[in-house]
């Protein structure tokens, strides 16, 4: 027989503590199907994150620049609540949300200090998927 939940179960939920981190790094992972934005401090500890799918976009609408913009705004607002003012942006992947996510972060009032492309490029590694013929 299962035990009844006690008052300790509710007390274990941790309250979000407002960190005062002035600058961080925005990691934008723009794949063909989705865009994921993670905002971290300089050491790489995640402060806030958001994705196009997490913002309610499903299917082919996830892979649009507008979905990436909405996801970037959500992640940026959550990071600003933690005190973020300056961001370095690292973009990874070939997806359609690359540019619109950076524009959305800048429009929130966050100062973007640098933008770098960290897309992994193979030195002739795995064979890529075949080209689609439509």
Token reading at 50: 């958001």
Q: Can you give the pLDDT at residue 63?
A: 92
Q: Return the H-helix or E-strand segment holding 90.
A: strand 86-92
Q: Can you give the pLDDT at residue 124?
A: 93
Q: Are 91 and 25 in contact (CB under 8 A)?
A: no
CATH placement of domain 24-117: 3.30.420.80
SS3 assignment for 4-65: CCCHHHHHCCCCCCCCCCCEEEEEEEECCCCEEEEEECCCCCEEEEEECCCCCCCHHHHHCH
Cα separation, 32 vs 97, in Å, equals 9
Q: What is the dihedral of CA 64, 65, 71, 76, to 10 degrees?
A: 170
Q: Can you give the pLDDT at residue 60?
A: 92
Cα separation, 127 vs 121, in Å, equals 12
Closest among 67, 76, 129 to 98, alpha carbons compared: 67
Per-10-residue mean pLDDT for the chain, 134 residues long? Answer: 62 68 91 95 94 94 95 94 92 93 93 94 92 89
């Amino acid at each position: 027989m299962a035990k009844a939940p006690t008052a300790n179960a509710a007390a274990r939920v941790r309250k979000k503590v407002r960190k005062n981190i002035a600058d961080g790094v925005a990691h934008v992972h723009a794949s063909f199907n989705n865009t994921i934005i993670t905002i971290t401090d300089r050491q790489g500890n995640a402060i806030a994150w958001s994705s196009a799918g997490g913002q309610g976009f499903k299917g082919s609408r996830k892979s649009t620049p507008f979905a990436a913009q909405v996801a970037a705004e959500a992640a940026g607002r959550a990071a600003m609540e933690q005190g973020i003012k300056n961001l370095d942006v690292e973009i990874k992947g070939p997806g359609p949300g690359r540019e619109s996510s950076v524009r959305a972060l800048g429009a929130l009032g966050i100062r973007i200090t640098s933008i770098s492309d960290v897309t992994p490029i193979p030195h002739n590694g795995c064979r890529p998927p075949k080209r689609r013929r439509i």
